[in-house]
Amino acid sequence: MTVIYFTDGALIDDCLIRRSLLRIPEVIESLRKSSDEFISCDLFMAMNETSAYRALNYHQKAHLKSILQNALFRRWMKNGIEPDLILKRKDYCHFNELTQVFQKLSTIDTLNVVTIGPGFDDLESFLRLRLKLNSKPINEFISQDPHLNWFWNEISTSRELHS
């Protein structure tokens, strides 16, 4: 069973992460298509400069994170694998609700969790420590993509990829 899990996107707040995402064609395409949704804001500047990103209000930042994660998901879909379930952190008010879902899922032998983050969030440590899932069924999408891992490995070693 393949579960796609959209993290809280907290790592997108990191300027190096945002700049790295600009290396992904689907991200560039999505930013171009969405640029008219952001009044008096240059999305590419927000991706490259901390001050421009900080000038975005809460809703703009949340929308930008959604745009970026959806672009990463579209790229993942090009693998030709249909997910059995899609879960989004923002759809759960409390972390306990999300952990209950994953506790039930952890009983499935063929569980494969792919995070669309970038990176992980505190769910990853919950899965590894509390549910004792090994690293095999928990994967970060960008590090799995053979066309993206060439730059992502460097980023992941220079940054802590947990939100």
Residue 7 structure tokens: 């993290």
Delimit the domains of the chain by residue range: 2-158
State the average pLDDT over residues 147-155: 75
Say which CATH architecture domain 2-158 belongs to.
Answer: 3-Layer(aba) Sandwich (3.40)
Whether 117 and 92 have beta carbons less than 8 Å apart is answered as no
pLDDT of the residue at 40: 85
* Residue 157 confidence (pLDDT) above 50: yes
First to last CA, the chain: 25
What pLDDT is stored for residue 143 in this prediction?
Answer: 82
Higher model confidence: residue 94 or residue 135?
A: 94
User: Rounded mean pLDDT of 5-19?
Assistant: 93
Q: What are phi and psi of 4, to 5 degrees?
A: -95, 130
pLDDT exceeds cutoff 50 at 163: no
pLDDT band for position 158 (cuts 50, 70, 90)? low
